Amino acid sequence: MSVKTDLKSLDRGALGAFAKGSGLPAYRAGQLIHWIYERNAGTIEEITEFSKKLRQELAAKAFISRLQLKTALSSEDGTRKFLFGLSDGNAIESVLIPDGKRLTLCISSQAGCRMGCGFCLTGKIGFKRDLLPHEIVDQFLLARQLALPETLTNIVFMGMGEPLDNLDNVAEAIKRITAFARFSKRRITVSTSGVAPGIREFAAKASGVKLAVSINAATDSVRSSIMPINRKYPLQKLIAALRDFPLAPRDRITIEYVLLKRVNDAQADAKALAGLLRGIPCKINLIPYNGPENCENGRAFNMPDENTTMAFQDVLVRAGHTAIIRKSKGKDILAACGQLAGKG
């Protein structure tokens, strides 16, 4: 018996080929896309636009996969975290973050992460594997259902993994989320730890999608000590890629800066950051460190006190930048930035 085809694993071309190979007219591929991506069909049986006979024929050789929801946790601040099981036993997490009129879904691009940033729990668990396009898309499809009756307004690739280390699959997933599920690409943001050549490639492969960059330090010595990627792509290369990033008028790059007590929180750091970003249309999100007080590798990170944080922001604002202090959400369920370890 031949192996059944997972319809969710197919891109536009492959779905067309599947329809053709099944002796069906081309418009059937469009109907499959509509039912899977807009109507959330979980089985071929649910596609009631098809006759019973057609459904039976298709079900004999194809199926519609779905991530397995293993745990759903709710925070007292309204943040919800979902742990999804992959077919090979790995697990990933997605987070739903309500904020006023917005409902943002934070999704993962990899199981684990290769980048090893010292302050990040995902970095600690190491790299398991890249997610396939449909495993990325499925986080969106399932969360969209789980969020009902609310509607998702934004998607951020700020969950587990480095999206630009899995760029082709991320770009294909974005294509399906926008073209198949009709979610606006202007409401999608991809966050990178600074894979400089990837930023240029991303601009070409996912044009119109927003970019966020985790800068986290304004000098190479500090940045390399907390983010190993900086040894490969130092700040000068990263900033050059940001200067070249195509932006629509009024659009800005989001800059993320995790504030670590006595590591990168001095006034001098703020001044260096302001200088580094001069001339780049951006808004800066300051995220006070929210991890454990002591890391296993012997390096201790702490959250700066409020005065230091506000003084840091003040330097940036005086230099003409937009800088916002981001209070972490979902800390009680380990759903905040850098707390995703795939353990529920």
Site for ligand SAH in 90-149 (CB under 6 A): 119-120
* Nearest position to ligand SAH, beta carbon: 338
Query: Applying CB under 6 A, does 171 fall inside the site for ligand SF4?
Result: no
Query: Applying CB under 6 A, does 169 fall inside the site for ligand SF4?
Result: no
- The item of ligand SF4, ligand SAH, none sharing an interface with residue 287, based on CB under 5 to 8 Å by kind, is ligand SAH
Query: Applying CB under 6 A, does 139 fall inside the site for ligand SF4?
Result: no
Query: Which of 60, 237, 36 has its CA nearest to residue 141?
Result: 36
Query: Which of 138, 133, 86 has its CA nearest to residue 111?
Result: 86
Give SS3 for 340.
coil
Q: Given strand 154-157, what is the order of strands in its sheet?
A: 68-74, 80-85, 91-99, 102-106, 154-157, 188-192, 210-214, 253-259, 282-288, 322-325
Query: Applying CB under 6 A, does 192 fall inside the site for ligand SAH?
Result: yes
Query: Applying CB under 6 A, does 193 fall inside the site for ligand SAH?
Result: yes
Query: Applying CB under 6 A, does 122 fall inside the site for ligand SF4?
Result: yes
Using CB under 6 A, which of the segments 16-24, 83-91, 145-153, 191-199 binds ligand SAH?
Answer: 191-199
Tell me whether residue 125 or residue 203 sits nearer to ligand SF4 (CB atom): 125
CB of 131 to ligand SF4, least distance (A): 13
* Annotation marks residue 93 as catalytic: yes
Query: Applying CB under 6 A, does 287 fall inside the site for ligand SF4?
Result: no
Q: DSSP string of 2-71?
A: PPPEEGGG--HHHHHHHHHHTT--THHHHHHHIIIIIS---SGGG-TTS-HHHHHHHHTTEE----EEEE
Judged by CB under 6 A, which of 162, 172, 265, 269 binds ligand SF4?
A: 162
Query: Applying CB under 6 A, does 166 fall inside the site for ligand SAH?
Result: no
Using CB under 6 A, which of the segments 31-39, 90-98, 113-121, 180-188 binds ligand SF4?
Answer: 113-121
CB of 238 to ligand SF4, least distance (A): 13
Neighbours of 327 (CB within 10 A): 11
Phi-psi region of 76 (alpha: psi -120 to 50; beta: other; left: phi over 0): alpha
Which one from 93, 162, 172, 256 is the annotated catalytic residue?
93
Site for ligand SF4 in 185-244 (CB under 6 A): 193, 214
d(CA 51, CA 47): 9
Judged by CB under 6 A, which of 10, 117, 132, 190 binds ligand SF4?
A: 117
d(CA 239, CA 285): 17
Beta bridge partners of 106: 95, 156
CB of 323 to ligand SAH, least distance (A): 15
Query: Applying CB under 6 A, does 198 fall inside the site for ligand SAH?
Result: no
d(CA 342, CA 113): 11
Residue with tokens 């990168």, as numbered in its chain: 264
Query: Applying CB under 6 A, does 309 fall inside the site for ligand SAH?
Result: no
Catalytic residue set: 93, 337
Residues that bind ligand SF4 in the complex, under the rule CB under 6 A? 113, 115-117, 120, 122-123, 161-162, 193, 214, 338
